[in-house]
Chains A and B, each alone.
Chain A
Amino acid sequence: MKKFMLSVATLCVVVTSCTLDKTDYESEISTVVTEYIEYEEVVSITEDNYLISINALNGTFYKGYNAIRLNITNTETNESLNTSEVTFLPIMTNYNGNHTSGPHQYNLEYNIEDDYYEGYTVFTSESNDSEYWKLYITFSDNGETYSVTQNITIEEQTNMNLNMTAFTASDGEQYFIALVAPQQPKIAENELVAGIYTYNSPTSDAGTFPDPSQFSYSEVEDYTLLLDPRMPEPSMGNHSSPNNQDLIQGEDGLYYGVVNYTMTGNWTLNFRLQNTFGAVIKGTEVSTDFTPGIEGERSELYIDILF
Chain B
Amino acid sequence: MRTILLFTLLLISTHYSTAQQTEKKKDSIIALDEVELITVIKKKIETDMKMAVSVDEFLASSDQISFIKRGAYAWEPLLNNMSSERSTITIDGMHVFGACTDKMDPITSYVESNNLSKIDIKSGQEGSMHGATVAGSIDLKRKSTPFNLVKQWNGAYQTGFELNNKQFFNLANAAYSSEKFVVDGSLAYRKAENYSDGNSDEVAHSQFTKFNASLGLAYKTSELSSVKVEAIYDEAKDVGYPALPMDLWLSRALITSATYKQVFEDGLFRALDTKIYFNAIEHYMDDTTRPENLVHMDMPGWSTTYGLLSKTNIKKNRFSSEIQLNAYTNLSTAEMRMYPQDRSERTMFAYSWPAVTTTFAGLSVNNAWEMSDNSLLNFGGSLGVHYNHSKYAEFNWIFHPGTPQEKTRLLPSLHTSYHLNIENFDFSVGGGYGHRAPSVSEGYGYYIYNSFDRYDYIGNPDLKNEISYEANASAGFKNHTFSLQAKVNYFYIQNYIIGRILSLGSPMNYQSVGVKGYTALDYSTLFNFSLNGSYTILDNLHWKGNLTYARGKDDNENNLPFIRPLSYQTSMHYKWNQFNFQTSITGDVEQINYSPEYGEDQTPSYTIWNLSADYTFRIAAYRTVVQVGAENLLNEYYSTYADWGNIPRMGRNIFTSLKFNF
> How many A-B pairs with Cβ below 8 Å?
135
In contact, A239 and B280 (Cβ under 8 angstroms): no
In contact, A23 and B349 (Cβ under 8 angstroms): yes
In contact, A262 and B447 (Cβ under 8 angstroms): yes
Is A135 located at the chain interface by the 8 A CB criterion? no
Is A37 located at the chain interface by the 8 A CB criterion? no
In contact, A264 and B284 (Cβ under 8 angstroms): no
Bits for A120-158, please: 1 = Cβ < 8 Å to B, else 0: 000000000000000000000000000000000000000
Is A265 located at the chain interface by the 8 A CB criterion? yes
Q: Given that A20-B300, A239-B508 are contacting pairs, would A262 and B350 also be in contact in the complex, using a CB cutoff of 8 Å?
A: yes
Residues of chain A in range 253-307 having any CB-CB distance to chain B below 8 Å = 260, 262-266, 288, 290, 292-293, 306
In contact, A19 and B398 (Cβ under 8 angstroms): no
In contact, A237 and B395 (Cβ under 8 angstroms): no
A28: B residues at CB distance < 8 A: 349
In contact, B254 and A16 (Cβ under 8 angstroms): yes
CA–CA, A233 and B250, complex, Å: 29
- Cross-chain contact of A266 among B337, B346, B399, B507 (Cβ < 8 A): B346
In contact, B397 and A188 (Cβ under 8 angstroms): yes
Q: Given that A242-B504, A292-B294 are contacting pairs, would A186 and B252 also be in contact in the complex, using a CB cutoff of 8 Å?
A: no
Is A169 located at the chain interface by the 8 A CB criterion? no
Is A236 located at the chain interface by the 8 A CB criterion? yes
Is B155 located at the chain interface by the 8 A CB criterion? no
- Cross-chain contact of A189 among B4, B336, B398 (Cβ < 8 A): B398
Residues of chain A in range 215-246 having any CB-CB distance to chain B below 8 Å = 231, 233-243
In contact, B510 and A264 (Cβ under 8 angstroms): no
Closest 5 CB pairs of A and B: A188-B394, A265-B348, A242-B504, A263-B350, A292-B510
In contact, A262 and B250 (Cβ under 8 angstroms): no
Most chain A CB within a 10 A radius of its CB, from B335, B336, B502? B335
In contact, B394 and A22 (Cβ under 8 angstroms): no
Is A12 located at the chain interface by the 8 A CB criterion? yes
In contact, B9 and A15 (Cβ under 8 angstroms): yes
In contact, B506 and A290 (Cβ under 8 angstroms): yes
In contact, A242 and B399 (Cβ under 8 angstroms): yes
CA–CA, A12 and B10, complex, Å: 9
What are 30 residue pairs bridging A and B, where the CB atoms are less than 8 Å apart in the complex? A9-B12, A11-B9, A12-B8, A15-B6, A15-B233, A16-B280, A19-B250, A20-B282, A22-B300, A23-B337, A31-B346, A186-B394, A187-B351, A187-B392, A189-B398, A189-B401, A233-B348, A236-B510, A237-B506, A237-B507, A239-B506, A240-B506, A262-B398, A262-B447, A263-B336, A263-B338, A263-B348, A292-B294, A292-B511, A293-B510
In contact, B335 and A235 (Cβ under 8 angstroms): no
In contact, A22 and B302 (Cβ under 8 angstroms): yes
Is B619 located at the chain interface by the 8 A CB criterion? no
Is A18 located at the chain interface by the 8 A CB criterion? yes
Is B371 located at the chain interface by the 8 A CB criterion? no
Query: Could you tell me the distance in whole angstroms from the C-beta of B396 to the nearest C-beta in chain A?
Result: 9
Is B537 located at the chain interface by the 8 A CB criterion? no
In contact, A265 and B347 (Cβ under 8 angstroms): yes
In contact, B349 and A263 (Cβ under 8 angstroms): yes
Residues of chain B in range 275-328 having any CB-CB distance to chain A below 8 Å = 280, 282, 284, 294-295, 300, 302
CA–CA, A306 and B345, complex, Å: 10
CA–CA, A12 and B231, complex, Å: 13
In contact, A262 and B345 (Cβ under 8 angstroms): no
CA–CA, A214 and B365, complex, Å: 85
CA–CA, A196 and B421, complex, Å: 83
Query: Could you tell me the distance in whole angstroms from the C-beta of A43 to the nearest C-beta in chain B?
Result: 33
CA–CA, A162 and B8, complex, Å: 55
Residues of chain A in range 78-134 having any CB-CB distance to chain B below 8 Å = none
Query: Could you tell me the distance in whole angstroms from the C-beta of A24 to the nearest C-beta in chain B?
Result: 11
Chain A, interface SS category:
loop
Query: In the complex, what residue of chain B is closest to A264 when comparing beta carbons?
Result: B349
B348: A residues at CB distance < 8 A: 231, 233, 236, 263-265
Q: Given that A235-B294, A263-B350, A264-B350 are contacting pairs, would A243 and B504 also be in contact in the complex, using a CB cutoff of 8 Å?
A: yes
In contact, A264 and B347 (Cβ under 8 angstroms): yes
Q: Given that A290-B506, A306-B346 are contacting pairs, would A187 and B5 also be in contact in the complex, using a CB cutoff of 8 Å?
A: no
Sorting the interface of chain B by its residue count into under 10, 10 to 19, 20 to 34 or 35 or more gives 35 or more
Is A8 located at the chain interface by the 8 A CB criterion? yes
Most chain A CB within a 10 A radius of its CB, from B346, B506, B510? B506
CA–CA, A236 and B502, complex, Å: 19
Is A206 located at the chain interface by the 8 A CB criterion? no
Q: Given that A242-B505, A265-B340 are contacting pairs, would A187 and B395 also be in contact in the complex, using a CB cutoff of 8 Å?
A: yes
B514: A residues at CB distance < 8 A: 290
Is A45 located at the chain interface by the 8 A CB criterion? no
Query: In the complex, what residue of chain B is closest to A231 when comparing beta carbons?
Result: B348
Is B31 located at the chain interface by the 8 A CB criterion? no
Is B578 located at the chain interface by the 8 A CB criterion? no
Is B341 located at the chain interface by the 8 A CB criterion? yes
- Cross-chain contact of B284 among A19, A188, A231 (Cβ < 8 A): A19
In contact, A188 and B395 (Cβ under 8 angstroms): yes
In contact, A233 and B340 (Cβ under 8 angstroms): yes
A262: B residues at CB distance < 8 A: 350, 398, 447, 505, 508
Q: Given that A189-B397, A293-B294 are contacting pairs, would A23 and B282 also be in contact in the complex, using a CB cutoff of 8 Å?
A: no
Query: In the complex, what residue of chain B is closest to A32 when comparing beta carbons?
Result: B346
A260: B residues at CB distance < 8 A: 398
Query: Could you tell me the distance in whole angstroms from the C-beta of A218 to the nearest C-beta in chain B?
Result: 34
Query: Could you tell me the distance in whole angstroms from the C-beta of B1 to the nearest C-beta in chain A?
Result: 10
Query: In the complex, what residue of chain B is closest to A291 when comparing beta carbons?
Result: B510
Is B11 located at the chain interface by the 8 A CB criterion? yes
Is A25 located at the chain interface by the 8 A CB criterion? yes
In contact, A188 and B398 (Cβ under 8 angstroms): yes
CA–CA, A243 and B510, complex, Å: 21
Query: Could you tell me the distance in whole angstroms from the C-beta of B335 to the nearest C-beta in chain A?
Result: 6
Is B333 located at the chain interface by the 8 A CB criterion? yes
Query: In the complex, what residue of chain A is closest to B392 when comparing beta carbons?
Result: A25
Is B513 located at the chain interface by the 8 A CB criterion? yes
- Cross-chain contact of A243 among B8, B341, B399 (Cβ < 8 A): B399
CA–CA, A31 and B504, complex, Å: 30
Query: In the complex, what residue of chain A is closest to B342 when comparing beta carbons?
Result: A233
In contact, B345 and A8 (Cβ under 8 angstroms): no
Query: In the complex, what residue of chain A is closest to B508 when comparing beta carbons?
Result: A239
A20: B residues at CB distance < 8 A: 282, 284, 300
A290: B residues at CB distance < 8 A: 506-507, 513-514
Having A236-B348, A263-B350, A265-B340, one finds 7 other A-B pairs with CB under 8 Å, namely A11-B8, A18-B302, A186-B394, A187-B395, A243-B504, A262-B505, A265-B346
Is A1 located at the chain interface by the 8 A CB criterion? no
Query: In the complex, what residue of chain A is closest to B350 when comparing beta carbons?
Result: A263
CA–CA, A236 and B341, complex, Å: 10
CA–CA, A187 and B352, complex, Å: 12
- Cross-chain contact of B398 among A15, A242, A265 (Cβ < 8 A): A242
CA–CA, A306 and B349, complex, Å: 12
Residues of chain A in range 1-56 having any CB-CB distance to chain B below 8 Å = 7-9, 11-12, 14-16, 18-20, 22-23, 25, 28, 31-32
Query: Could you tell me the distance in whole angstroms from the C-beta of A15 to the nearest C-beta in chain B?
Result: 5
Query: Could you tell me the distance in whole angstroms from the C-beta of A174 to the nearest C-beta in chain B?
Result: 32
In contact, A263 and B508 (Cβ under 8 angstroms): yes
B351: A residues at CB distance < 8 A: 25, 187
In contact, A237 and B349 (Cβ under 8 angstroms): no
